[in-house]
Amino acid sequence: MEQTLSIIKPDAVAKGVIGKIFDRFESNGLRIAATKKLQLSRIEAKNFYAVHKERPFFNDLVDFMISGPVVVSVLEGENAMQKNRDLMGATNPKEAKAGTIRADFAENIDANAVHGSDSLENADTEIAFFFASKDIS
């Protein structure tokens, strides 16, 4: 069964919508195979988002991701990676379709509620960044 990594970002954790976002996953065929709440260090956030290090928004993104605790989860199901991306909606919440997580819970492109792996290869790397195989079930 396919697996992907989800992060509920600091804005959504602060708003108290962890449960509402988990419900989107579980109501749409994505099982939570592992989950934990944690505070990212600056180094961890920089390493996690290393693919974006040349982008103009990189420093703001890192600052935002360490501004409070996040919830990282392994989601499992058929087409889990793409299904999670579809449930998330567009990166900019103003462009996200009605009923998506970002349309419903995000304020702007910086504070956009959730992260989801964007390929199966990245999903494997991102899952390994946070979880040992023995803790995924």
Min dist CB 52 to Mg ion, Å, is: 8
Structure token digits, residue 28: 């749409």
Q: List binders of Mg ion among 7-46 (CB under 5 A).
A: none
Q: Distance between CA 125 and CA 30 in Å, rounded?
A: 19
Of 17-25, 28-36, 106-114, 129-137, the segment contacting ligand ADP by CB under 6 A is: 106-114
129 counts as binding ligand ADP under rule CB under 6 A? no
C-alpha pair distances (Å), 106 with each of 14, 60, 135:
12, 16, 30
Please identify which of the residues 115, 117, 123, 127 carries the catalytic annotation.
115
Min dist CB 51 to Mg ion, Å, is: 8
Backbone phi, then psi, for 35, in 5-degree steps?
-160, 150
